[in-house]
Amino acid sequence: MNNKAMQQARAALVLHPRCGAHCRRTGQPCRNPAMANGRCRMHGGKSTGRPTIHGRYTKAALAQRAGWLAVERSLRALIDKSE
Ligand SMILES: [Zn+2]
């Protein structure tokens, strides 16, 4: 990264949303740059939350749909070949 790009990155960081996690040492918000979910990398920013155990997005449901999509693709390929 060249010097100008570095300066632009630093300027953008000033306006970036901040982590609001409570700091046990100071009692103030954390203030590190926040990730997409509003928390910094040390306060759950990388976390997607607890595991999904019910409904459309459980690992089992996703795997099942992926399996059916693979079957559908192979059947469509078969149909295309026979035409
Ligand atoms: Zn934080």
Greatest alpha-carbon pair distance for the chain in Å reads 72
* CA 48–ligand 1 middle distance (angstroms): 15
* CA 13–ligand 1 middle distance (angstroms): 15
What is the reported pTM? 0.50
**Mean per-residue pLDDT over the chain, rounded:** 91
Please give the pLDDT value at position 7: 92
* CA 62–ligand 1 middle distance (angstroms): 31
Q: Does position 1 have pLDDT exceeding 80, yes or no?
A: no
> How far is Cα 32 from Cα 43, in angstroms, rounded to an integer?
9
Please give the pLDDT value at position 47: 87
> How far is Cα 19 from Cα 2, in angstroms, rounded to an integer?
28
| Higher-scoring residue by pLDDT: 77, 83 | 77
Q: What is the pLDDT of residues 43-77, one digit of tens each?
A: 988 888 889 999 999 999 999 999 999 999 999 99
Name the 3-class secondary structure at 71: helix
